[in-house]
Structure 1
Amino acid sequence: MSGFPGSIAFDEYGRPFIILRDQATQKRLTGIDALKSHIMAARQIANIISTSLGPKGLDKMMVSPDGDVTVTNDGATILKMMDVEHEVGKLLVQLSQSQDDEIGDGTTGVVVLAGALLEQAGALVDRGIHPIRIADGFELACQVAVKHLDKIAELFPVSQDNIEPLVKVAMTTLGSKIINKCHRQMAEIAVNAVLAVADLEQKDVNFELIKVEGKVGGRLEDTVLVRGVVIDKTMSHSQMPKELKNVKMAILTCPFEPPKPKTKHKLDVTSVEEFKELRQYEQDKFKEMVDLVKKAGANLAICQWGFDDEANHLLYSQGLPAVRWVGGPEIELIAIATGGRIVPRFEELTPDKLGSAGLVRELAFGTTKDKMLVIEDCSNSRAVTILVRGGNQMLVAEAKRSLHDALCVVRSLVLEPRVVYGGGAAEIACSLAVAAEADQLASLEQYAFRAFAEALEAIPLALADNSGLSAVHFLGEVKSKQASTGDPALGIDCMNTGNLNMRDQHVIESLRSKRQQLLLATQLVKMILKIDDVRSPGDSGM
């Protein structure tokens, strides 16, 4: 028992039991105190995140322990980088991450909603309602809200011929990001990238075929979609050709170097003749490797490993351009795009294992020495790369995060082509539906239903607040108009256009994303409401 944090004792019957150490320093929360602590922690995190919601949402600057600075308004990124100590705070971080993994968008909204639900639950607990009854009521209310979402959702056209509707949805996602000054261009890039790799018949999108590369320099407007693969490498020799056409490439995971015994080895060279003999052996082996590659018909070698200057010079003199130190993921993407096979030994290289591309060229950036290699017109052209440009590393990183959100939203629409309207319109419609259902209930759950309806209003309230509007006044106006007209497209006019109709403003969101937000937030809140005992060493505050 030496490794156990306690000592062993025996009762009067000789049965052993363990006495825990540091009992005095441990703090234990039980019952309503534990619940209040959870609600307080969730509210604090939700309040921090809520200011980043919507097109006028504010960014957060995160500084890591190493001093690295990240500026973003992506909810999942903010929470991942926050140093959260409270147990429920960590659950909210996981909630945001789940939304990001499953949908890719709505990471801020799901946390704001969960925080609002817990705040409403706290008020119900103060009124003497048992947490289990609240949790059950929230779950029933969530089912009503999800059914109403399905009812108000509209079918959405997804086709290769008309990308305009998809571009409008992607623009809604990018409207709240730092790159919104060129968000139409970014939206078109995201839509074209997804459609290039999507199978519309099977309703499937292979995200592995979309690569997002960033390069500091230039402007955001210089961001381009390459129908092929971009790798952050150059030709291994400066005098090798910078542009190759009708390329047959050998994709190698074996190094250009003489074979060595796997065991520890030692070679004594005692004379000039022996040294010359050894040098000649190396030359012959290099030549043999190059001949095997050329014999297969390759005019470009992509190698996962490096090779020394002697091998590099030989490749140049033999007229075989090569690229070295290409990473594993890039190697796989090149193989998929060019239809080639990854070859582990030179002896196994055959013409049918070569990849083919119409054009391989080096891409230079302005007056800097930075260069990248672009492989275009591939035999399997479904692999695409988005090359993001920006003035500094921080901007490029945030642009990549923003494009990831847009790509995920377009993917969601390919998987399920149904949409609801943004600007808080869908939440207000669901809130009205849940509140109406509460009036039909005779049980105690009606209080939970009304609390759920009020929590749903947290999203439009935060949108109005972040836009500098009188939040409660605007929400009351929109609710009144939705209730009287029955139009679920009326939302918060964040951009001050004077039009509350989100259909006219083209503020469109994926039904899949909204539904997932409701379900995930409700599941987490139900789990938290059922926790009544927390034991942790020291203080359990944030």
Structure 2
Amino acid sequence: MALAFDEYGRPFIILKEQERKSRLRGLDAQKANIAAGRAVARILRTSLGPKGMDKMLQSPDGDVIISTFSFFLSFSLANDGATILEQMDVDNQIAKLMVELSRSQDYEIGDGTTGVVVMAGSLLEQAEKLLERGIHPLRVAEGYEVASRIAFDHLEKISQKFEFGPDNIEPLVQTCMTTLSSKIVNRCKRALAEIAVKAVLAVADLERKDVNLDLIKVEGKVGGKLEDTELIYGIAVDKDMSHPQMPKRIEDAKIAILTCPFEPPKPKTKHKVDIDTVEKFQTLREQERKYFDDMVQKCKDVGATLVICQWGFDDEANHLLMHRNLPAVRWVGGVELELIAIATGGRIVPRFQELSPEKLGKAGIVREKSFGTTKDRMLYIEQCANSRAVTIFIRGGNKMMIEETKRSLHDALCVARNLIRNNSIVYGGGSAEISCSVAVEAAADRHPGVEQYAIRSFAEALDAIPLALAENSGLPPIDTLTAVKAQQIKENNPFCGIDCNDVGTNDMKEQNVFETLIGKQQQILLATQVVKMILKIDDVISPSEY
């Protein structure tokens, strides 16, 4: 028991002896932290690459889920490292750091969430060996920092730039196909990659090299097959016309976009209307009808041929709209209204009195499309004046497939966005990691201090990605890695990687297996930062002890 004394000589307890014994400190704490981080990495390791294995998870209510990374929902599918870590019930604080690592990669790059965790786990494994040899954790962290910079710069050297444009999208498509190769939807990877690239180019500002992914709406509906997924140069809204007798197709539509109620105004204060005769009641009804009739007439006077309203209106008003030949759509969400306004070049009208001809949006075609039964309909707004808002409409046999396709397309969209920001690529299949490993190993000789051991360990940790790819593809990992590394050195070809798909060549350039340079660099930097943070922790104190 640790005691201290106040200014009057009275003792008080700082820390109880049994609590001091229950705490892990020094090397024991570091080993425990490393074990927690490696445990998370082992979960994701077997799912890396195009031949990765599936996982079976159990949701809190006892439902069993068979998936390749799944949400904790009944019978949902996913194939993303960030997804499973996001939904795992993690108590250990170091494991939570690994979850944050994957989340950071997903937020910044959108792809590579599995690889960054596997790399961090390998760095921790190598660091544990150095700690057991008596090397101070700070020296290990410093060596890792030096090695990560060497690998970062080497990636720049082996990267290649490619030119792309509206007429030359093949490089972008090939890179997105690499991302989709490890997904459940890989059988349609070519079609989905083309959709993702065309959607990004439609909303991209190529002069500023900026892409706002919020302008790409991803919508899905159960039914049909995955091959029916389409790109709509406009907006698809999961609504239909407010009255079944309204026209289902409007050409050269002029759209009034309202966020105000399309009905007579109601006083905002409490009120009471005393009506004691039938004549007064009829007069009130006539006034309300006349007010709404004037609203409809104003819409027609400004030239509107379609009204899209955020709020609803009653059946009587709906009937009047139908008779006055003014189609309308009600209960449209605020986000969808913004996208419609962007796509059609219109202005959202918050007060009905502000409606004017210049605030109307314009679209070439507005049509209602039926799916399956006649009750399931959607509204397509196409051929818009400003096509810088598009919709990817996904079809699938069940909700699981649609949700997985949405997550897969998110990764592909992020990859295409990253390539527009920086059109440098490296080649996949573990070729970049193997080349960096060789470069870091060679650079270790130039550092005479203890950091040399950490730099060599970093080089060995980089081999974890190609080893996992080979193992998951059913190849002998050690033999395959050594053969590819020897081939890289002999031929001076940094594009040699693991032939996961058994194509017959190790040259990833010939296989068109691309990855973004900034995504690969981000993986190395993030993994190194988290490992350095974990190595500097030498005591774990739980707040429940005090």
Match for residue 67 of structure 2? none
1:261 and 1:296 mapped to 2: Cα distance?
27
1:493 correspondence with 2:474: no
Match for residue 66 of structure 2? none
Residue 516 (structure 1) shift = 0.6
Match for residue 533 of structure 1? 539
Amino acid at match of 1:157: E
Residue 29 (structure 1) shift = 3.0
Residue 186 (structure 1) shift = 0.6
Question: In 2, are the aligned partners of 1:142 and 1:518 still within 8 Å (CA)?
Answer: yes
Match for residue 387 of structure 1? 393
Query: CA distance change for structure 1 residues 16 and 257 in 2, over 3 Å: closer, same or farther?
Result: farther
Amino acid at match of 1:338: T
Residue 470 (structure 1) shift = 0.8
1:49 correspondence with 2:44: yes
1:37 correspondence with 2:32: yes
Q: TM-score, normalised by structure 2?
A: 0.93
1:262 and 1:62 mapped to 2: Cα distance?
52
Match for residue 216 of structure 1? 222
Amino acid at match of 1:33: D
1:232 correspondence with 2:238: yes
Match for residue 146 of structure 2? 140
Task: From 500, 510, 514, give the equivalent of 1:504.
Answer: 510
Residue 33 (structure 1) shift = 2.1
Query: CA distance change for structure 1 residues 266 and 440 in 2, over 3 Å: closer, same or farther?
Result: same
Q: Secondary structure at the match of 1:29?
A: coil
Query: CA distance change for structure 1 residues 220 and 292 in 2, over 3 Å: closer, same or farther?
Result: same
Match for residue 4 of structure 1? none
Amino acid at match of 1:77: T
Match for residue 377 of structure 1? 383
Q: Secondary structure at the match of 2:383?
A: strand
Q: Secondary structure at the match of 1:366?
A: coil
1:186 and 1:15 mapped to 2: Cα distance?
74
Question: In 1, are the aligned partners of 2:78 and 2:403 still within 8 Å (CA)?
Answer: no
Q: 1:368-392, CA deviations, whole angstroms, 9 ceiling, x for partnerless residues?
A: 6311111001000121110011111
Question: In 2, are the aligned partners of 1:198 and 1:206 still within 8 Å (CA)?
Answer: yes
1:422 correspondence with 2:428: yes
What does residue range 393-408 of structure 1 map to in structure 2 within 5 Å? 393-408=399-414
Amino acid at match of 1:37: A
1:336 and 1:98 mapped to 2: Cα distance?
30
Task: From 432, 435, 458, give the equivalent of 1:452.
Answer: 458
Q: 1:62-109, CA deviations, whole angstroms, 9 ceiling, x for partnerless residues?
A: 554365233222011111111111101111111111111111111110
2:258 and 2:21 mapped to 1: Cα distance?
58
Q: Secondary structure at the match of 2:208?
A: coil
Match for residue 123 of structure 1? 129
Task: From 320, 325, 332, give the equivalent of 2:326.
Answer: 320
1:16 and 1:265 mapped to 2: Cα distance?
71
Residue 314 (structure 1) shift = 1.4
Match for residue 353 of structure 2? 347
Query: CA distance change for structure 1 residues 36 and 245 in 2, over 3 Å: closer, same or farther?
Result: same
1:18 and 1:405 mapped to 2: Cα distance?
54
2:451 and 2:234 mapped to 1: Cα distance?
56
Match for residue 69 of structure 2? none
Match for residue 293 of structure 1? 299
What does residue range 141-220 of structure 1 map to in structure 2 within 5 Å? 141-220=147-226
Question: In 2, are the aligned partners of 1:212 and 1:385 still within 8 Å (CA)?
Answer: yes
Task: From 471, 475, 488, give the equivalent of 2:477.
Answer: 471
Question: In 2, are the aligned partners of 1:301 and 1:320 still within 8 Å (CA)?
Answer: yes
Q: Larger deviation: 416-425 or 256-265? A: 256-265
Match for residue 527 of structure 2? 521
Query: CA distance change for structure 1 residues 162 and 124 in 2, over 3 Å: closer, same or farther?
Result: same
Residue 483 (structure 1) shift = 1.5
Q: Larger deviation: 41-50 or 530-539? A: 530-539
1:18 and 1:390 mapped to 2: Cα distance?
65
Match for residue 77 of structure 1? 83
Task: From 313, 328, 338, give the equivalent of 2:344.
Answer: 338
Question: In 2, are the aligned partners of 1:205 and 1:411 still within 8 Å (CA)?
Answer: yes
Match for residue 310 of structure 1? 316
Q: Which runs of 5+ in 1 are unaligned?
A: 1-8
Q: Secondary structure at the match of 1:212?
A: strand
2:5 and 2:293 mapped to 1: Cα distance?
78
Question: In 2, are the aligned partners of 1:31 and 1:532 still within 8 Å (CA)?
Answer: yes
Residue 10 (structure 1) shift = 10
Question: In 2, are the aligned partners of 1:27 and 1:536 still within 8 Å (CA)?
Answer: no
Match for residue 253 of structure 2? 247
Amino acid at match of 2:41: A
Amino acid at match of 1:207: L
Question: In 1, are the aligned partners of 2:181 and 2:189 still within 8 Å (CA)?
Answer: yes
Match for residue 280 of structure 2? 274
1:327 and 1:142 mapped to 2: Cα distance?
47
Q: 1:264-312, CA deviations, whole angstroms, 9 ceiling, x for partnerless residues?
A: 3333433322322222222122112212222211110110111111111
Match for residue 5 of structure 1? none
2:179 and 2:530 mapped to 1: Cα distance?
25
1:431 correspondence with 2:437: yes
1:537 and 1:421 mapped to 2: Cα distance?
47
Question: In 2, are the aligned partners of 1:141 and 1:449 still within 8 Å (CA)?
Answer: yes
Amino acid at match of 2:27: I
1:88 correspondence with 2:83: no
Task: From 89, 112, 132, give the equivalent of 1:106.
Answer: 112
Match for residue 28 of structure 1? 23
Question: In 2, are the aligned partners of 1:60 and 1:73 still within 8 Å (CA)?
Answer: no
1:315 and 1:259 mapped to 2: Cα distance?
17
Identity %: 64
Q: 1:222-268, CA deviations, whole angstroms, 9 ceiling, x for partnerless residues?
A: 00000111111111111111110000000000112221121233334
- Aligned length, in residue pairs: 531
Amino acid at match of 1:41: A
Residue 59 (structure 1) shift = 3.2
Amino acid at match of 1:140: V
Across the aligned residues of Structure 1 and Structure 2, the Cα RMSD in angstroms comes to: 2.3
Q: Which runs of 5+ in 2 are unaligned?
A: 64-72
